[in-house]
Homo-oligomer: A and B are copies of this chain.
Amino acid sequence: MRLTTWGVTGVPEIKPGDQLGEIIVAACQGEPNGPLRDRDVLVVTQKIVSKAEGQLVAIDPTNPLSHKKLVEEEAVRIVRRRGDLIITETKHGFVCANSGVDLSNVERGQAALLPKDSDRSARRIRDIVRAQLGIEVGVIVSDTFGRAWRKGLTDVAIGVAGIAAVVDLRGTADALGRMMQVTEVAVADELASAAELVMGKSSGIPVAVVRGVDASWFREASVRELVRPPQEDLFR
């Protein structure tokens, strides 16, 4: 098994109302790495999804409270707070800094909110690829989250279409023929992380293609597979 991922160059600056799926298809088809194929996975950063869907709100860039108020509005629960750092649970069930409200890579005086329903955003892109190219791809909307216990950020999935979020290998025999213990693998998060390595935070590449993904992982799915319900969670 061999997996390849590359950043898609040529995606223009995205504006509210843009048809993201069509723009991505056009950029992919002009890629030096060649056109999209059946069973490619598209990883699309939250930022351009939020922009295309008009999830931008005005804030006062001179007043930090303006950002903070927005963070609290977008939260259903404050999980931790220390100094300027606020870890919240969003209405989607994600636990992340600042409710995912982001000031980078948007115009000064604006903040980008998370998409309302990133699974739906991913499905729209998948459907446009299907309609325009006649192929089946998986789509992951990714965002950059911190973690408990470990330093550094990683990209994770906040929406999926056509590709499993979690693959359950429980009950599969391991290489010594023993039943495995714990093996629900968060493949959509791992794919988002792999894609982040070629997009880079500062290079402004908002879309990546991953090719060579296990064929059995392509199915109807939802990011809810990745959201641990609060009552099962030991850390909120």
Contacts and interface: CB of A to CB of B under 8 A. Distances in A.
A148 B235 contact: yes
A169 B190 CA distance: 21
Contact of A225 (B94, B151, B235): B151
A25 to B, nearest CB: 20
Contacts of A2: 4-6, 33, 198
Given A173-B202, A200-B214, 13 more contacts: A1-B7, A4-B5, A80-B234, A106-B176, A108-B178, A148-B233, A148-B235, A149-B228, A150-B186, A151-B184, A152-B225, A154-B186, A154-B190
A201 to B, nearest CB: 5
Given A194-B194, A202-B173, A213-B197, A153 B185 contact: yes
A227 interface: yes
A182 to B, nearest CB: 7
A121 B198 CA distance: 27
A203 interface: yes
Contacts of A1: 6-7, 198, 200
A66 interface: no
A182 B152 CA distance: 9
B152 A235 contact: no
Interface of A: 1-7, 33, 80, 82, 85, 87, 94-95, 97, 103-108, 144, 146-156, 165-166, 169, 172-176, 178, 180-187, 189-191, 193-194, 196-198, 200-204, 212-214, 225-228, 233-236
24 contacts: A1-B6, A2-B198, A80-B234, A82-B234, A103-B181, A104-B181, A105-B174, A107-B176, A147-B147, A148-B149, A148-B228, A150-B186, A150-B226, A151-B227, A152-B184, A153-B184, A153-B185, A154-B186, A173-B202, A185-B196, A190-B194, A194-B197, A197-B214, A235-B235
A contact patch SS = loop
Contacts of A184: 151-153
Name, among A147, A154, A169, A212, the residue most crowded by chain B CB atoms within 10 Å (CB to CB): A147
Contacts of A5: 2-4, 194
